[in-house]
Amino acid sequence: MKLPDSTLGIATGLLTVVLVVVAAVFNYFDDPAPVKYTSMAEDLKTLEGNFRQHNKSCFILGASGETGQELLRALLGRNIFSKITLIGRRRLTFEDKAYENLIQEVVDFEKLEDYAAAFQGHDVGYCCLGTTKAKVGTEGFIRVDHDYVLKSAELAKAGGCTQFHLESSRGADKNSNFLYLKVKGQVEAEIEALGFDRYAIYRPGVLLVDRQESRPVEWVARKFFGAFSAVFSTSMSIPIQAVAKAMASNTLLRPEQKTEILENTDITNLWKSAGK
Ligand SMILES: NC(=O)c1ccc[n+]([C@@H]2O[C@H](COP(=O)([O-])OP(=O)(O)OC[C@H]3O[C@@H](n4cnc5c(N)ncnc54)[C@H](OP(=O)(O)O)[C@@H]3O)[C@@H](O)[C@H]2O)c1
Ligand SMILES: *[C@@H]1O[C@H](CO)[C@@H](O)[C@H](O)[C@H]1NC(C)=O
């Protein structure tokens, strides 16, 4: 039987209304009161200058990923580090001259202890590492998103790193019944216990990006939140550049904060006020 177009139209319309209401309810009840940022593009210029004078170094985990690539771009753009090291499972190639001074450490994440030297002597660490259960199964997911991330943080701390920035996820909660959110919450907490002088946790919602590999569920979520982002902008989804730029800007801000959690809304606000 073929449904008349008008019925389909109405069904689609209704579905949209339901989804919009659901999104609105989530949006309304979910995030705690967001941290307020005043316009700070000017202040950041000064902070950049000060930061630069200390000749600090950093490392990035996951620089080949969607967020990591943007983070690397943002950090090079701010030019606040005298040395940037990429730590990954494979060597990356870059065409642009801006990337020529990068240092790359290729490590075997299954034997990270053997690569402790790669984690030595960095002031700041960034982690955008992650995989999915769909790609590597439950055990593989825990191995990467928990074990590799935690071990890297431990080696970095032991190697003198004082500031750690972790890309986690919206809803991360060590007591969650959902494996993904539970693992994210656990690793957040275990890294906090390592006692970095400064530790920033970023909890983005659905990352809006034109991903190279195909992930159908994410694609649908992205189309949906992308379409409604004008209406329900700040708590469910976020452009990937926003996360990356917020991580870079936040490095310069509030050094007195020991542990800081930036929810999706906080990341968006920081991105907007710190200059896109
Ligand atoms: N996608 C979302 O909507 C969303 C939302 C909230 C939070 N997050 C979280 O945000 C983080 C970054 O996400 P993304 O989408 O930017 O990541 P992505 O594009 O999938 O990149 C993942 C990075 O992790 C590395 N990696 C993956 N498996 C590895 C393994 N077995 N050994 C070594 N390295 C491995 C990849 O290296 P290779 O290039 O060598 O594979 C890549 O650099 C993840 O932790 C994710 O869970 C994602
Ligand atoms: C940073 O490096 C510059 C140039 O190499 C040097 O002149 C300066 O003294 C260094 N500053 C610190 C704090 O080490």
pLDDT at residue 254, rounded to an integer: 80
Could you identify the atom of ligand 2 that is nearest to the CA of residue 54?
13
Among all bound ligands, the one having the nearest atom to the CA of 220 is 1
Q: Where are the alpha helices (H) located in the chain, listed in sequence order?
A: 5-29, 41-52, 66-78, 133-142, 149-158, 179-192, 216-228, 233-236, 240-252, 264-273
pLDDT at residue 209, rounded to an integer: 82
Contact 51, 80 (CB under 8 A): yes
Residue 72 Cβ contacting ligand 1 at under 6 Å: no
Closest Cα to atom 4 of ligand 2: 55
pLDDT at residue 235, rounded to an integer: 72
Per-residue pLDDT of the chain (276 residues; tens, 9 = 90+): 455 566 656 666 666 666 655 555 555 445 556 565 555 777 888 999 999 999 999 999 999 999 999 999 999 999 999 999 999 999 999 999 999 999 999 999 999 999 999 999 999 999 999 999 999 999 999 999 999 999 999 999 999 999 999 999 999 999 999 999 999 999 999 999 999 999 999 999 999 986 656 667 777 776 776 666 555 555 789 999 999 999 999 999 987 789 999 999 999 999 998 866
Domains of the chain, residue spans: 55-89+98-273
| DSSP string covering 65-97 | SHHHHHHHHHHHHHT--SEEEEEESS-----SG
Q: Could you tell me the distance, in angstroms and rounded to a whole number, from the CA of residue 57 to the centre of ligand 2?
A: 12
Q: Return the CATH number of the domain spanning residue range 55-89+98-273.
A: 3.40.50.720
Closest Cα to atom 42 of ligand 1: 65
Which amino acids bring their CB within 6 angstroms of ligand 2? 54-55
272 in catalytic set: no
What distance in Å separates the CA atoms of residue 249 and residue 243, rounded to the nearest whole number?
A: 10
